[in-house]
Amino acid sequence: MTKEYDLVVLGGGTGGYVGAIRAAQLGMKVAIVEKEKLGGTCLHKGCIPSKALLRTAELYRQMKDSQAFGIVTNSMRLQFDQAQNRKNNIIEQLHNGVKALVKKGKIDVYYGFGRILGSSIFSPIPGTISVEYENGEENTMLVPKNVLIATGSAPRGLPNLEVDGIYIMNSDHALQLEQLPSSIVIIGAGIIGIEWASMLTDLGVNVTVIESNDEILFTEDKDIIREVERSLKKRGVNFIKGALIDAQSIKIKENVTLTFEQSGKERSITSDKVLISVGRKPNIDQIGLTNTSIKVQNNSIVTNEMFQTSESHIYAIGDCIGGMQLAHVASAEAIVAVEHMAEQNPSPLNEKNIPTCIYSYPEVGRIGLTEQQAKEQGYNFKVGKFPFQAIGKAQVYGEKDGFCKVIVDSDSNDILGVHMVGPQVTDMISEASLAKFLDATSWEISKTIHPHPSLSEVFVETALSVDGMQIHG
């Protein structure tokens, strides 16, 4: 069977289905090829399920401290199976929502593995998509004018360290745990590793994080790193930094014993389970890139600023092109790519205007340059910093740790970067995103009236503190 389309999207994850919907809005005839479920990793194995469990951990931590709010509980226990049920119900509800949106857009969905073919009887240029089905059904041939590759990524492993899903896990396996272990070693102190460390320690698991670098979250601002590490250590997380794992010496019996080298000394640690959290790798194997002239570098597809590959009618977005590997980035890239196909003349994305978030406790939100990056890039800058402790709403919430930090260009007074660590900053960073997009100055932010009491007042006070004009500090 052969069908023609204006656009075929390889992958129905957050970037893929958003791109498909935007294309349908622009009048294109669109199809999605998805080997599993619409919504992709973010909905089923990443953003949504992990944040659902982090919410359980947050409530559990807060309820253990409820006496400070005048609430005394005689008994409280965690039912992890119920937390998992809640997570699964959220996923199912959102999955149904995505399917409804795709149906509303009159987008055809083919559930199978899509492979790009070279030039053939169907098309004189590469791009025909062969959809292969697990049940052995005859392949479907989709002949598009344009292709959008949105195949996402998968958890990256470590050499010589076999993942069995029981004792040695990645994040996919951890999300399906039926029972919490009493102890766990997390290898990798990036964003995903820190979120899992925060969640599991709040749920009562003994957590050790092993990191090969000399600091955790090494891409973040130094002040943020110190605050997150301080909070996690205070809650019982043990950090082993500058350590190299000897994967070949791993021993599995009723638990796992890992051997590692730190400061020239060999050490070992034993835990119930090990979680490998060392990043993600693009899903580009076997999708037919060798049938095209598409370039691959560092195992990622190479594109221009409009997300075109070297085959001008084939675009690629999201985790498979490397970059920031965030769901909201994939969606934004997909819209740019589709609008470029439709000759809408979209503006390219500016990475400095894209926020990133860490959903640990405390939360982290940032946009733009770190203080270290501002120095390296030769900016003449000034810094404002203000603690949540001086914000009335933070005291009311009982979450007064953390701060906001603003880095400002001394010559133009434009914002170079905003870094927040503390309560609800993954929501508040959106205001900083708008300010950054509009080239707002710290003076303009300081003149923007914020409601009292609110956590968002920290942004005003921080903007004022750039010039030593803060009111409450």
Question: What's the rounded Cα separation, in Å, for the pair 317 and 57?
Answer: 33
The count of residues in the chain is 473
C-alpha dihedral (24, 28, 34, 38), degrees to nearest 10: 0
Please count the helices (runs of H) and the strands (runs of E) in the chain: 13, 24
Positions annotated as catalytic residues are 452
Burial class of residue 105, CB neighbours in 10 A (0-12, 13-18, 19+): middle
- DSSP state letter for 348: P
CB atoms within 10 A of CB 212: 17
Could you give the residue ranges of the DSSP H alpha helices within 313-456?
Answer: 327-341, 371-376, 392-397, 425-437, 442-446
E-strand stretches of 336-430: 356-358, 363-368, 381-387, 403-409, 415-422
Question: What's the rounded Cα separation, in Å, for the pair 100 and 102?
Answer: 5
Residues linked to residue 276 through DSSP beta bridges, in sequence order: 187
CB 129 within 8 A of CB 141: yes
CB atoms within 10 A of CB 120: 15
CB atoms within 10 A of CB 167: 18
Integer CA distances (angstroms), 89 to 48, 94, 195, 204, in order: 11, 9, 21, 24
From the list 390, 243, 428, 317, the residue with the least C-alpha distance to 40 is 317
Burial class of residue 452, CB neighbours in 10 A (0-12, 13-18, 19+): exposed
Cβ contacts of 234 within 8 Å, gap of 6 or more: none
Token couple for 463 = 């903007």
Residue found by looking up tokens 């990645």 in the block? 170
CB 317 within 8 A of CB 10: no
Token couple for 375 = 């120095």
Residues linked to residue 304 through DSSP beta bridges, in sequence order: none
Residue 127 carries which side chain, given as an amino acid letter?
Answer: G
Question: What's the rounded Cα separation, in Å, for the pair 422 and 400?
Answer: 7
